[in-house]
Amino acid sequence: MWTSGRMSNAKNWLGLGMSLYFWGLMDLTTTVLSDTPTPQGELEALLSDKPQSHQRTKRSWVWNQFFVLEEYTGTDPLYVGKLHSDMDRGDGSIKYILSGEGAGIVFTIDDTTGDIHAIQRLDREERAQYTLRAQALDRRTGRPMEPESEFIIKIQDINDNEPKFLDGPYVATVPEMSPVGTSVIQVTATDADDPTYGNSARVVYSILQGQPYFSVDSKTGVIRTALMNMDREAKEYYEVIIQAKDMGGQLGGLAGTTTVNITLSDVNDNPPRFPQRHYQMSVLESAPISSTVGRVFAKDLDEGINAEMKYTIVDGDGADAFDISTDHNFQVGIITVKKPLSFESKKSYTLKVEGANPHLEMRFLNLGPFQDTTTVHISVEDVDEPPVFEPGFYFVEVPEDVAIGTTIQIISAKDPDVTNNSIRYSIDRSSDPGRFFYVDITTGALMTARPLDREEFSWHNITVLAMEMNNPSQVGSVPVTIKVLDVNDNAPEFPRFYEAFVCENAKAGQLIQTVSAVDQDDPRNGQHFYYSLAPEAANNPNFTIRDNQDNTARILTRRSGFRQQEQSVFHLPILIADSGQPVLSSTGTLTIQVCSCDDDGHVMSCSPEAYMLPVSLSRGALIAILACIFVLLVLVLLILSMRRHRKQPYIIDDEENIHENIVRYDDEGGGEEDTEAFDIAAMWNPREAQAGAAPKTRQDMLPEIESLSRYVPQTCAVNGTVHSYVLAKLYEADMDLWAPPFDSLQTYMFEGDGSVAGSLSSLQSATSDSEQSFDFLTDWGPRFRKLAELYGASEGPAPLW
């Protein structure tokens, strides 16, 4: 039987002079084999198959667990207990062996006495108990004297761990103005000591810092608000220190602390207010739509969504001219231009702007109102604006046969400023690269400068510019769309070359070809063509034509019996006329070949039969004749080549040496005195130029261009407009590929000598302090009337051409 005794070495731990034994009771039934049972006898009895007699023996005192205190700090091993077997007679014949958790490392056993000691420091928080096994062996034979038994060593707890806040430090948020007792956060401290043994793990919470704003529940650790009307705008952050103490908060208990950082979150308890009751702003009248005029700001002590603003214009005479939007990043109101401004129409505006919180809390409405208003005065500043066209878009329809220089539209622009400066017109040449149009610089009359052709360009989109005389940088523009209307100026014609054939066995009235026509014109009622034979072929005995009334026509044979030997090809002229006004027509030719066909009408041959060679001429003779002709051709080419490559003597003629042939001309042009090169009499007086004798011509060269004025009828020169005359002659000069200027230079040194107009040079005008007068232009007749109007009578600045 196992018996055990545990004597707590309390002397070393508690300092007391007493010994304690703990006994455990184990109920075992023992099989008795003999009066004096021995381990050997018991083993043999168990292994025997013979029936045995059973006797109940007395109960023995046995053990099952030991207890030992943690954190032993003595120098000697800590005595745990004693193992003892009933077989042990005290003579040392029994050997005790310990195995299991911590055997030999944490716990040791005296193999003779059975005393168990702890040789390492024990910590219940690391391990609360150890399970070991004990066995008694015969020291001499090594046989087990007792069955192996298991026992437990439990570690008893002491208060050696303070409470700890494993989740600290804490961060919490609570809304400002919260009622007293509002829960903020719950803190929890844990104690590693045994909660089932004494008060070592019973924790009590208290607040060390943070009063009188917050409080903590001593049992649960819930932190609550303790002061009413805490304002975030006054104080936003709080640092609260919480203590947790074990032993129920009694004296001698261990304590731990943690920090709780509490932030008051914002609520909408502050209404917005404008720091300024009046704003003064200015804007240029040329400011584009949506451009910024200025900013207003309503201050709100709240933050986040509670500080969001919405700005609106609630009153004022500028509500239709200006708009306001909210910049959500900075919560400011941005005033922008809503429609074009005009200093001449209205010089100032007044706005009443409201700023309000869109997100309200019902429990704080008594702190309102949560909106405010301010007044904004906006002054419009004058700028030099470019000319403005009225209307802002032009659409013109013009027939394509309009004469050059015809006015097709009057373009009108005006200076919107108070000064009302003079306007000069021009065409943006990038919009009219073909220079089909011209605009009068002063009147804005839009005229044609070149012939128009709808078939080439049916639409023209040009831009007309208007510039102020006093400020050329101020330029306005207007789009002008010109639609070229169609006139019947193109005759219909065949779309391709028509070629047909007729069989020799064709009968009268047989269809040989269907023809059609095209016309580049586009009449409103559609195209309609009329077909007939040309007048010279009206009585053609061979073919006739039938109009299908669908812009096509059929070509029919008028007779039969065509022969290739008689005539192999017929050319039939066909007259095609359109339905326009005036009627235009053209003549197309249909080529008809006479072919030999089979009975089904399939073409067999369309060429006349070749002449047969004489029967007496053999093939060999024909080859010999061709060879002789080839030899003669080669000889002729060789002779011509030798003559061309005959060497010439290396004699250089001075007249043929052109390497440094420099020709110098010491004479200079005669200016207006030189009347040999060009006829400039028309520049003096066109009527005298025509009435006088024929102009003299130069002897050294033929005149390359005639005076433009001699081609102009006198009615046009006298009664017509200068612009039409110039534009017509400019177009003629552009179309004349052989007209000057060539790469030549002529210098004119004489000015005004012999001219009835005198000198027009401005070289000497700089020496005079007085302003040059052009009133004499009115005395020069109708040809200079336009110049007299521009220069003679005008007192303003000189016009720009």
pLDDT digits over 366-377, tens only? 887 899 999 999
Task: Determine how many CB atoms are found less than 10 A away from the CB of residue 82.
Answer: 20
For residue 18, the model assigns a pLDDT of: 25
Q: How far is CA 397 from CA 404, 484, 506, in A?
A: 15, 6, 55
Residue scoring higher pLDDT (197 or 748):
197
Q: Please compute the mean of the pLDDT values over residues 337-347 and round it to a whole number.
A: 90
User: CA 712, CA 574: separation in Å to the nearest integer?
Assistant: 41
For residue 31, the model assigns a pLDDT of: 26
| Most confidently predicted of 129-133, 730-734, 746-750 | 129-133
Q: Please compute the mean of the pLDDT values over residues 70-76 and round it to a whole number.
A: 78
Q: How far is CA 780 from CA 237, 409, 692, 776, 784, in A?
A: 98, 31, 20, 7, 6
For domain 499-605, the CATH architecture is Sandwich (2.60)
How far is CA 701 from its chain centroid? 67
Pairing of strands 499-503, 585-597: parallel
For residue 644, the model assigns a pLDDT of: 76
Residue scoring higher pLDDT (293 or 64):
293
637: pLDDT strictly greater than 60:
yes
Range of lowest pLDDT (220-224, 231-235, 295-299): 231-235
Q: What is the DSSP string of 466-518?
A: EEESS-TT-EEEEEEEEEEEP-S----B-SS--EEEEETTPPTT-EEEEEE-B
Q: Please compute the mean of the pLDDT values over residues 231-243 and round it to a whole number.
A: 92
For residue 555, the model assigns a pLDDT of: 92
Q: Please compute the mean of the pLDDT values over residues 651-666 and round it to a whole number.
A: 51
78: pLDDT strictly greater than 90:
no
Contacts of 100 (CB under 8 A, 6+ apart): 130, 131, 132, 133, 150
Helix (H) or strand (E) holding 81: strand 78-85
Q: Shortest CA distance to 426 belongs to which of 406, 411, 416?
A: 411
Contacts of 431 (CB under 8 A, 6+ apart): 461, 462, 463
The share of the chain scoring above pLDDT 90, in percent, equals: 33
- Residues 452-501 have pLDDT tens digits of 998 889 999 999 999 988 888 889 999 999 999 988 888 999 999 988 98
48: pLDDT strictly greater than 70:
no
Structural class in CATH, domain 164-265: mainly beta
Beta bridge pairs of residue 299: 273
pLDDT band at 790 (very low <50, low <70, confident <90, very high): confident
CATH number of the 388-485 domain: 2.60.40.60
For residue 260, the model assigns a pLDDT of: 95
| Most confidently predicted of 140-149, 548-557, 689-698, 754-763 | 548-557
CB 671 within 8 A of CB 750: yes
447: pLDDT strictly greater than 60:
yes
User: CA 671, CA 669: separation in Å to the nearest integer?
Assistant: 6
649: pLDDT strictly greater than 80:
no
Provide the CB-side half-sphere exposure for 15 (13 A, CA): 1
pLDDT band at 560 (very low <50, low <70, confident <90, very high): confident
Residue scoring higher pLDDT (663 or 319):
319
681: pLDDT strictly greater than 80:
no
Q: Please compute the mean of the pLDDT values over residues 6-13 and round it to a whole number.
A: 35
577: pLDDT strictly greater than 80:
yes
Q: What is the DSSP string of 566-613?
A: T-SEEEEEEEEE-SSSS--EEEEEEEEEEEEE-TT--EEE-SPPPPPP
pLDDT band at 669 (very low <50, low <70, confident <90, very high): low
For residue 58, the model assigns a pLDDT of: 39
Q: Shortest CA distance to 568 belongs to which of 611, 525, 607, 529?
A: 607
360: pLDDT strictly greater than 80:
yes
Task: Determine how many CB atoms are found less than 10 A away from the CB of residue 245.
Answer: 24
76: pLDDT strictly greater than 50:
yes
- Which two structure tokens, joined as six digits, stand for 688? 């005298």
Topology classification of domain 65-156: Immunoglobulin-like (2.60.40)
Do 164-265 and 278-381 share a fold? Answer: yes
SS3 539: coil
Q: Please compute the mean of the pLDDT values over residues 187-198 and round it to a whole number.
A: 83
For residue 731, the model assigns a pLDDT of: 78
Q: Please compute the mean of the pLDDT values over residues 501-512 and round it to a whole number.
A: 88
| Every domain of the chain and the residues it spans | 65-156, 164-265, 278-381, 388-485, 499-605
For residue 463, the model assigns a pLDDT of: 95
SS3 66: strand
Q: Please compute the mean of the pLDDT values over residues 169-196 and round it to a whole number.
A: 90
For residue 310, the model assigns a pLDDT of: 94
User: CA 597, CA 605: separation in Å to the nearest integer?
Assistant: 7
For residue 738, the model assigns a pLDDT of: 67
Contacts of 427 (CB under 8 A, 6+ apart): 437, 438, 439, 462, 463, 464, 465
User: CA 573, CA 493: separation in Å to the nearest integer?
Assistant: 12
For residue 556, the model assigns a pLDDT of: 92
Structural class in CATH, domain 278-381: mainly beta
User: CA 227, CA 319: separation in Å to the nearest integer?
Assistant: 49
User: CA 426, CA 414: separation in Å to the nearest integer?
Assistant: 14
SS3 561: coil
575: pLDDT strictly greater than 80:
yes
User: CA 517, CA 552: separation in Å to the nearest integer?
Assistant: 7
711: pLDDT strictly greater than 70:
no
pLDDT band at 746 (very low <50, low <70, confident <90, very high): low
For residue 693, the model assigns a pLDDT of: 43
Range of lowest pLDDT (9-18, 329-338, 470-479, 732-741): 9-18
For residue 420, the model assigns a pLDDT of: 78
The share of the chain scoring above pLDDT 70, in percent, equals: 75
